[in-house]
Amino acid sequence: MLRPRPAALVSLMRAAGGGRRCRDPSGGPRLPSLCSAPPAQPVIAAKEPFLVELQAGKSYSWCACGHSKRQPFCDGAHRTEAPALSPLRFSPARAGAALLCGCKRTRSPPYCDGSHRENAGQAAPPAPRA
């Protein structure tokens, strides 16, 4: 009969970061598994979009973590506050005014799609300002 988790496989899983022990939801014993932590979630920087003037062809870095003091653009705060999140780099095709997402929940980053109007976005507290 094959063993479900030979020692070599368990050590390989742990080396890959997937061999953490997780509690069975039913309250059972802690078992080795391939569970992982939930993905990092950004904080809400604002409950409305940021109106900005963009230049065609210029490269911008949109803050995806919500911790930047230069919203909606990145200032590098993600390196210490949210290392799992990184800014979205983009270059607009046209110059002009644009609404960039402030709630960080948009389905069309970096542009606002109205996600801030949904219940989850309105109920969540915005990021603290220092």
Judge whether 40 lies within some domain. Answer: no
- Total domains present in the chain: 2
C-beta separation of 30 from 22 below 8 A: yes
The pLDDT assigned to 18 comes to 47
Between 125 and 60, the more confident residue is 60
Q: What percent of the chain has pLDDT over 90?
A: 58
The answer as to whether 3 is a domain residue is yes
- Per the domain annotation, does 25 fall within a domain? yes
User: pLDDT, tens digit, for every residue of 63-76?
Assistant: 999 999 999 999 99
Q: Is the peptide bond before 4 cis (omega within 30 degrees of 0)?
A: no
The whole-angstrom separation of Cα 121 and Cα 98 is 20
**Paired residues of 54 in beta bridges:** 96
Residues 21 and 79 in one domain: no
Domain ranges, residue 65: 50-123
Tokens matching residue 88: 């979205």
End-to-end CA distance of the chain: 61
Same domain, 18 and 54: no
More confident residue, 126 or 89: 89
Residues 60, 1, single domain; the answer is no
Co-location of 54 and 118 in the same domain: yes
Identify whether residues 61 and 8 lie together within a single domain.
no
Strands (E), 4-76: 21-23, 30-32, 50-54, 60-62
Q: Which of 9-13, 28-32, 83-87, 126-130 has the highest mean pLDDT?
A: 83-87
Per-residue pLDDT tens digits for 100-113: 999 999 999 999 99
> Same structural domain for residues 74 and 113?
yes
What global pTM score does this model have? Answer: 0.65
> Would residue 67 be called left, alpha or beta, if left means φ above 0 and alpha means ψ between -120 and 50 degrees?
alpha
Please indicate, yes or no, whether residues 56 and 30 belong to a single structural domain of this protein: no
Residues 62 and 117 placed together within one structural domain of the fold: yes
Residue 22 falls inside a structural domain: yes
> Which of 4-18, 26-40, 115-129 is predicted most confidently?
115-129
